[in-house]
Structure 1
Amino acid sequence: MNISNKLEGKRLPVDLVLSNAKVYTRRGIVEAGLAIDNGRIFRIAKETNLPQASTKLDLRGCVVLPGLIDMHVHLRDQQFAYKEDFFTGTSAAAAGGVTLTVDMPNNKPVTMSSKSLRERMKLAEKRIIVNVAFYSAFPATLGEIPSIVEEGAVGFKLFLSQRIGGLDIEDNDVLLRAFNKAGEMNVPVAVHAEDKEILENIKNKMKQAERNDMNAYLEVHPPNAEMKAIQRIIQLVKESKVRVHFCHISSAAGLNAFLAVKKMGFSVTCEVTPHHLFLSHEHLKRCRTTALVHPPLRTKRDVKALWNALTRGLIDTIASDHAPHTIEEKEDKSIWDVKPGIPGLETMLPLLLTQVNEGTLALSDLVKMTSEKPAEIFSLKDRGSLDEGCLADLVVVDVHRKHKIDSSRFLSKAKYSPFDGWKVKGKPIKTFVNGQLVMDEGEIVAKPGTGQIVVWKNCSH
């Protein structure tokens, strides 16, 4: 029995009707309205077939999309609250049309045990505006993996560029055992694929030569460091039954290594970020350390390779890698001390909608890579699409609205961006989380704690 039948006997009206909309469905865009009740989509239908509602909003022909599920977000808080906290980070998400963020574990303290995860969840549930799920780093004792998943982690994050968490990342036997444990729990492992040995060897040479320039930084992070790390993980995937998700693939070399194993049918997925899709070495010269990220911006040839794969349907997801820092941390005089990362939650959707308007990106592909596929990776059966019975996580976009990106108006604490001043076309104007309006025309209209903690197997705390 579907939800419409279950609720048919309840006393009308429903909680909310969104009328005069263009609703994105798996069949394409339909001119219709949505009825929302008890946090879920009750009905999608023509106006005359919608039930009466306690509240009705006229969307004036705007497009309704599934809320974005951003698989790669650093919400900070705790001892990094000076960079970002759960309220400001999820406010930024709401402003960008993101209704579920998946938080990374490289926090202070590192999220790497059921205790540290529980503490982080407890702090978050009082502050979040949108829904939040959590990665954990691997613990030192692999026997703790089941308890971390039972506590609610939706996956594990493995950094190959530096040690974060309890594993010796240079020991393949240890990694294989960790992968097998994660595979037994059926949770994905997300990997930052840059080879630590390559990075450290070149970095030491640069420091000995007293290099402190952007080209030195780029030389420390060559494409073959990404390629080698991906190839190493692929060997472990072949020996285990784990599902691996490669984060922020940035180079043609890394992409080709990934696609080679994808074609063999192994359970691997990947993401690309907007900054690797839209920026290259040339922007580093102009934006300097503001645009410094790990892995770094690449050549125009690499950018072209990513777009080519994306338009051919070979890229699984797009994620922001929202990584906020203070402006002082971004402008350190030593290039080796500059903190890598940029805020991306508020720019991702406008940048992608601009490509839809220009005909470079199909709207169906945008939805697939930012909502449908992330929901599939995390087994979130009632999120990621606008179907009757699904949770009412959605974003209303004015696809024709032109505006300039202005980082000074970000809701994130990080008020800088390499996209500052970019002209974009398409803007999220309302965001609904679990059926509740949380963002209206760039303003947060919900209280902290409105979002829910999403845990493995789609349970909520």
Structure 2
Amino acid sequence: MPVDTVLYNAKLYVEGRILEGGLAVDNGKIVRIAKEANLPSATRRVDLRRLLVLPGIIDAHVHLRDQLRSPDEDFYTGTSAAVAGGITTVLDMPNNIPVTMSAASLRKRMQLAEPSILADVGFFSAFPENIEAIDEVVKEGAIAFKLYLTEQIGGLNIDDDKLLSQAFKKAGELDVPVAVHAEDRRMVEDAVEAERKQGKNDVKAYLRAHSPEVEAEAVGRILGVAYDSNAHIHFCHISSKKSIILIHNARNKGLRVSCEATPHHLLLSNEKLRKLGTLALTDPPFRNDNIRNELWDAVKEAKIDIVASDHAPHLMAHKVALSVWNMKPGVPGLETMLSLLLTKVNEGQLTLGEVVRLTAEKPAEIFQLRGRGFLKEGYIANLTVVDMHQQSRVDPSQFYSKAKYSPFEGWSLKGLPVRTFINGCQVMKEGEIVADYGTGRILRKESPT
């Protein structure tokens, strides 16, 4: 019997090597990787014209919005942006309206997403108020929990270290990662109050209120709370050297801990932020060039485990404000992340292997996304096809995301995703969406076997 699809005349990134040949897909999985002569017959054959096939890119930090935040983004536009950017799997954050923080709210969100998504989507949950309810959330399929230390999102009291310890221990027992937005709430609130009393409401004031020290203080606190929990703690959008040192030292002591960086923290400095204004404000904000270079060092030394976009779309009206205290932090990133990284490969700052490790292999490992992260027989046929020579310029007006702005507007890129396959189905070709609603699948935490 012929298989569903054969992709041939390709270059394949297979566990650190570039192989010439193709792969066969059947029932949504890779069933053969071989030279073209050894591939089976197929109902559909696709000539990839010697383009490079990567394991499907995974973005582990995405805000798809929808529900009462659908004016900012919805499941269809968000996953359209993902596949346009070569991203096959996204993990959705819980700070929605309503907040995803219970089995019922998670179930509702999954039900709403399933008919619309083009990429595969897994869901974070905030912690419920009742520690015992964590089991129910995990049984419903939460991939991980998300803890925000800057404000109360979810039912758990973020100022109570004893409760946090109990939640971490429960997550450790269930082997579910806990992702942390690490900024000390009291330090931020005190700094904001001091800036406001002085009538300061510009970008410089925001940078002072959200300093690297605010992040490092929170990282140190969480590492202390998590010390004997056996939970896997994952720190989101790390942006300071001290935080990286704390995380690295904790890992050397045996703690299960990982961290991520974003393209905007790696590539943009606070000098750029001062020019762009509130449109480019994120939380944490961009740092100076010295810190940015230290982040790059950590990437090269594998002290930063993954790169994720922190795609955080907002209405333009919520981004452009006279006062920084009235705007919403965050920028879109699904449609630029991979191309920015591939550009750095072409410039010699990254290797292709590092990009695959940061955006496929390690996210799959940390968040236990079985059958993903590698091109292997038996794995899910989520594939990102890239043209390392194709060039473009960032034009936010052409984004599939509802957020038509970017701090990278006008940047020249070299190295683009040109086809995206989800579960063996081609959903993007040359920047155009070519599949129907619902091609993606809902990912659920798998029970241990």
Q: Deviations over 1:269-291 (max 9, x none)?
A: 00000000000111112211111
Query: Does the 8 Å CA contact 2:244/2:303 hold for their aligned counterparts?
Result: no
Structure 1 CA distance for aligned equivalents of residues 95 and 192 of structure 2: 22
Unpaired runs of at least 5, structure 1: 1-10
Worse-superposed segment, 322-331 or 279-288: 279-288
Amino acid corresponding to residue 433 of structure 1 in structure 2: I
Amino acid corresponding to residue 101 of structure 2 in structure 1: M
SS at match of 2:67: coil
User: Percent identity, aligned pairs only?
Assistant: 53
Where do residues 277-288 of structure 1 align in structure 2 (5 Å cutoff)? 277-288=266-277
Query: Does the 8 Å CA contact 1:110/1:116 hold for their aligned counterparts?
Result: yes
Structure 2 CA distance for aligned equivalents of residues 382 and 82 of structure 1: 34
Report the Cα offset of residue 43 of structure 1.
Answer: 0.7
Which of 215, 233, 254 is the equivalent residue of 2:222?
233
Query: Does the 8 Å CA contact 1:114/1:148 hold for their aligned counterparts?
Result: yes
Q: Deviations over 1:165-198 (max 9, x none)?
A: 0111111001001111111111000000000000
Where do residues 331-410 of structure 1 align in structure 2 (5 Å cutoff)? 331-410=320-399
Structure 1 CA distance for aligned equivalents of residues 257 and 178 of structure 2: 10
Amino acid corresponding to residue 125 of structure 1 in structure 2: E
Which of 88, 105, 117 is the equivalent residue of 1:128?
117
Query: Does the 8 Å CA contact 1:380/1:458 hold for their aligned counterparts?
Result: no
Q: Deviations over 1:399-457 (max 9, x none)?
A: 11011011110000000000000001000000000000011111111111110000001
1:74 aligns with 2:45: no
SS at match of 2:446: helix
TM value normalised by structure 2:
0.98
Structure 1 CA distance for aligned equivalents of residues 412 and 252 of structure 2: 37
Structure 1 CA distance for aligned equivalents of residues 227 and 174 of structure 2: 18
Report how many aligned residue pairs link the two structures: 448
Amino acid corresponding to residue 154 of structure 1 in structure 2: I
SS at match of 2:325: coil
SS at match of 1:191: strand
1:381–1:433: structure 2 CA closer, same or farther, 3 Å change rule? Answer: same
Match of 2:21 in 1: 32
Amino acid corresponding to residue 216 of structure 2 in structure 1: M
Amino acid corresponding to residue 164 of structure 2 in structure 1: L
Amino acid corresponding to residue 96 of structure 1 in structure 2: G
TM value normalised by structure 1:
0.96
SS at match of 1:456: coil
Report the Cα offset of residue 458 of structure 1.
Answer: 7.7
Q: Deviations over 1:108-159 (max 9, x none)?
A: 0000000000000000001100000000000011111000000010110000
Structure 2 CA distance for aligned equivalents of residues 291 and 260 of structure 1: 32
Report the Cα offset of residue 69 of structure 1.
Answer: 1.0
Match of 1:5 in 2: none
Query: Does the 8 Å CA contact 1:379/1:458 hold for their aligned counterparts?
Result: no
1:420–1:191: structure 2 CA closer, same or farther, 3 Å change rule? Answer: same
SS at match of 1:450: coil
Report the Cα offset of residue 85 of structure 1.
Answer: 0.0
Query: Does the 8 Å CA contact 2:342/2:415 hold for their aligned counterparts?
Result: yes
1:100–1:336: structure 2 CA closer, same or farther, 3 Å change rule? Answer: same
Report the Cα offset of residue 27 of structure 1.
Answer: 4.2
1:428 aligns with 2:428: no
SS at match of 1:287: helix
Which of 176, 189, 192 is the equivalent residue of 1:187?
176
Amino acid corresponding to residue 229 of structure 1 in structure 2: A
Structure 1 CA distance for aligned equivalents of residues 10 and 447 of structure 2: 29
Query: Does the 8 Å CA contact 1:437/1:445 hold for their aligned counterparts?
Result: yes
Structure 1 CA distance for aligned equivalents of residues 369 and 316 of structure 2: 36
Structure 2 CA distance for aligned equivalents of residues 417 and 29 of structure 1: 33
Match of 1:153 in 2: 142
Report the Cα offset of residue 263 of structure 1.
Answer: 2.2
Where do residues 12-51 of structure 1 align in structure 2 (5 Å cutoff)? 13-51=2-40
Report the Cα offset of residue 377 of structure 1.
Answer: 1.1
SS at match of 2:377: coil
